[in-house]
Chains A and B, each alone.
Chain A
Amino acid sequence: NAGVTQTPKFQVLKTGQSMTLQCAQDMNHNSMYWYRQDPGMGLRLIYYSASEGTTDKGEVPNGYNVSRLNKREFSLRLESAAPSQTSVYFCASSEALWGQGFEQYFGPGTRLTVT
């Protein structure tokens, strides 16, 4: 099992460019998440997908869109990158749809720099 995989590992964008971060999990989890990690702020939830076919905004959704392509894959798109989106992006997945919480499993991250 690869767990949660993310591509790319590193990316540099110019302001205004667009890109899509890819995430896939092979644990048959229902729920998937996108976070950004900034120094001193922990991880903040951008978007999540509680189940295939649904997506919802998290704490910091502005400037991002997501697609739950199927049960395995959950992509994050930056339509017009801004320097404020320089961050490390983590994808995660979890078994629980509703009820008692289950741990989230994290991918290795994508380090994005917007110049």
Chain B
Amino acid sequence: GAVVSQHPSWVICKSGTSVKIECRSLDFQATTMFWYRQFPKQSLMLMATSNEGSKATYEQGVEKDKFLINHASLTLSTLTVTSAHPEDSSFYICSARARGGEKLFFGSGTQLSVL
């Protein structure tokens, strides 16, 4: 099956620093990638949709200047949390969809803890 690799699996950072999370499709070309955020005991909330080579589309209420998304190639998307604060602590999950496909393949998630 299709594999999506997400790194790092966990990260601890100081308040005010920036953190980059990578999402790679290992055996398929991901024309569309999605970034989700999940707080404890809650569901996955879509943050943004990124298509290769174009700007990401952010969901309402998600600050595009704080959560920078880059989808520069068909196998890599990155999410950068800029000037992280404790309230940004969460589980971030990426998913990818191949061209013409309908199924989403999910990464293993990144637990971000901001001190």
Q: Do A and B come from one complex?
A: no
